[in-house]
Structure formats: C-alpha cells, structure tokens
Structure 1
Amino acid sequence: MEEERREDGVAEGEMKSCSVAGESGTLSNWMEKHPKYVELMALDVADCTQVYTAFLVYLDLLEARNWHDVACIGSEELQLIYLQGCERAGDTPQVVIPTPTHESLTHKRIREIMKHCCDQDSREDVVKMSIVLAIVESDFTVVYYKLTDGFVVPDPPDIVEDMDNRRWRKRKSRVC
C-alpha cells in the first residue's frame, strides 16, 4: 500500500524532523526529544523556525519567569503558534506571540493576531485587547513587549513610591 505524502514530503501521521541550524547535535537531539517540542511539532501549523522559537519562549516563561498554566496553541488560520498563560497564579491569561528577530510584522498582521487570539467578549473597560510579543535572538535572549489596541491608562503609583518622590522633591528644594 502506497503512503500518501503531503507537499512537504511527510506522510500522514509521520512527524517531520527539524534540525536547528548552527546548534550542536546534543542540544538539537535533546530538544527534539522533549515532550513539549514534540507536541509543538505535532500541531503542524508552523515552520521549524516558529516551532523552535515557540519552544524557547515556552521554556523561558516556565523556567526563568515562573509563569503559570502556560499552554501552546496552534492557529491554522494564522499559520502561527502562540502561547497563553498567567504571569502570576490567578491572573488573567495573557497571549504571548513568539517571534524570531529576523521576522517582520506589519500593523495589519499584528491586528489579525490580536483579533484572532484575544477574547472578544471581554468588556472594554476591564481589559483592553493586548498581546505580548516575545522576540527571540539567535543567542536565546528573549525580549518581551506588550502591545495593546489603543491607549491604556497606567496603574496608579504605589503609595511607597509616591512618598519617595515627595521626599526627593523636598530634599531637592532644600539644596537649591
């Protein structure tokens, strides 16, 4: 019986292999065997670079930043893997978009991602539509930028911070 192959040459039910360019064989083998990496590959909605980037951001969120309930979601419509999780236990889940540094995003693409990934039922006065863009450099550095739909009023300053500012202004006025 002949197997039916897709355009990328992978038979149905077979997982394609992604080797990470420039990485040592040990690191690449370790990553390719990691259960979450295998899960991301099985989503089959993105190319190897996106899967690799999503995996690095996933590890960074869990291991370095101690996020909670991080889930990997594949969007066939957007051809994108994104993550959803909470910065602290009990917080509202945030959408994180893993992006390699060489990938360009247009305003139109960002708007498409926001509309697709964010909860449209949330009340406008409670939560603005927002995503966290996780930009991954080739040396595994991850930089996070929060993007919102429109302006967001900042939180009021902490009382301690406000008192420190008052003390600083008093000292400054005495010196001058």
Structure 2
Amino acid sequence: MEDDRDTKEEGVLRCDPEAQCHPKIEYMKQFKYCSAEQRRLAFIVYMDLCEAKDFWNVGIHGCESIGAILISGHPMKHDPKILILPVDRNDELSIEKLRDYVCKVKVDGLDVNSLTLAICETDSTIVYYEVTDGLVVPESPSEIEGKRQRRTWKMQKRREALKDNVVYQSK
C-alpha cells in the first residue's frame, strides 16, 4: 500500500503535497535564482531546525551572490545567530567553493565569519557541518560543561513533558 504523503520516485524524496502550500515555501518562491530543489532542501532544513532542533527566531534569506537560500536562527535562546546553507549530499564541494560561500554570503544584520552547511540526504537525514574562514579557537572546558548542562536540562524537560502527556492521555 502506498503512503499518500511522501513517496520515493527514482531515488528522490517527493515532498508532502500539503507542504507545497506552506507559507515558507511560498515565500521562498520569490528568490528566482533558486531552483525547486534548493527550495525543497531549504524547507526540509527549516522544518528540522524549528521542530527537531528547537532553534529560536528561525528566518529564511535569499543570497543572490551565491544563488542560494540561507536559514538563520539561534540554537539556544541567548546564543548568537548562525547561518545555515542547505546543500545536497551529491553537491561537489571544494575548499575554494566553501571559502567562496563564507566570503560571499551577505545577509542583513549578520556578521558572517562562519557558515553551517546542512548536508541533506534523500531520506531527509541532515548532517550539520560548521565552516569558518581560518582557524577557530577551541571552546574552554567551562563553555563545554555549560553546553552539556543546558543539553541535559533540555532533555529532562522533554522527558517530563512526554511523561506528563502519556499520563494525561491514559486517564
């Protein structure tokens, strides 16, 4: 029996027909220099950041200088905003191309010294990979511990919410 929502045809994931009417897809259509495939990748990454990664203030930006759609957002509420570039896993990337991406990206109100690639697989798996121009100083142990504590707190909150939801539904 075939699922009506997502189908695989010739190895390419076809998006949910209802998603074609999503306001963000309609917004992305204004970027004439982007293909339908780029819009599809951007939408998948946008939804992942909003729904699975719990990013704050997620926005969509067109960047004509590299001919792509970029997504911005805060990983945590008070973290600095980062830029994400959705790319297909089959795209050929070189050091020069990555450097061009970092150097040519211009988005209003953001100082771009790094860019996060969202490498997308046809099954909607996404791997995030941060690219910077030059060397980056590693985080201090206290910063790493702070992130670990926030991540643990976030997971505990999710478990409590899930537990409350299960208890509520069973009554």
Q: TM-score, normalised by structure 1?
A: 0.68
- Tell me which residue corresponds to 1:110: 98
3-state SS in 2 of match to 1:153? coil
Q: Deviations over 1:58-117 (max 9, x none)?
A: 000110001011111112221111111111112211110100111112222212211122
Of residues 130, 149, 169 in structure 1, which corresponds to 2:114? 130
2:13/2:122 contact within 8 Å kept: no
What is the RMSD of the two structures over their aligned residues, measured on CA atoms? 2.8
TM-score by length of 2: 0.69
Paired-residue identity, %: 29
Q: Answer yes or no: is 1:142 the counterpart of 2:142.
A: no
Q: Distance in 2 between matches of 1:43 and 1:58?
A: 16
Give the 3-state SS of the residue equivalent to 1:78 in structure 2: coil
Shift in CA distance, 154/118, structure 1 to aligned 2, threshold 3 Å: farther
Kept in 2: contact 1:101–1:136 (CA 8 A): yes
| 8 A contact 1:128–1:152 mirrored in 2 | no
Q: Are residues 43 and 158 of structure 1, via their aligned partners in 2, closer, same or farther at CA, if it must alter by over 3 Å?
A: same
Counterpart of 1:94 in structure 2: which amino acid? Answer: I
Determine the structure 2 residue equivalent to 1:53: 41
Q: Which runs of 5+ in 1 are unaligned?
A: 1-19, 162-176
Secondary structure of the residue aligned to 1:43 is coil
What is the CA–CA distance in structure 1 between the aligned matches of 2:79 and 2:120, rounded to whole Å?
25
The residue type paired with residue 40 of structure 1 is: M
**Partner residue, 2:164:** none
Aligned mates of 1:141, 1:116 — CA distance in 2: 27
- Pair 1:128–1:59, CA change in 2 (3 A): closer
Cα deviation, residue 134, structure 1: 0.4
Amino acid at match of 1:154: P
1:155 is the counterpart of 2:139: yes
Deviation at 1:160, TM superposition (A): 9.9
1:145 is paired with a residue whose SS is strand
Choose the corresponding residue for 2:79, options 70, 85, 91: 91
- When Rg is computed on C-alpha atoms for both structures, the one with the higher figure is 1
On the 8 A contact 2:85/2:116 being kept in 1, the answer is yes
1:35/1:89 CA distance change after superposition, 3 Å? same
Pairwise CA distance, 1:130: 0.9
Instruction: Quote how far apart the aligned CAs of 1:31 are.
Output: 1.4
Q: What is the identity, as a one-letter code, of the residue corresponding to 1:56?
A: I
Could you tell me how far apart the structure 2 residues matched to 1:159 and 1:108 are?
31
CA deviations 1:30-75 (Å, max 9, x no partner) are 1111111111122222111111001000000110001011111112
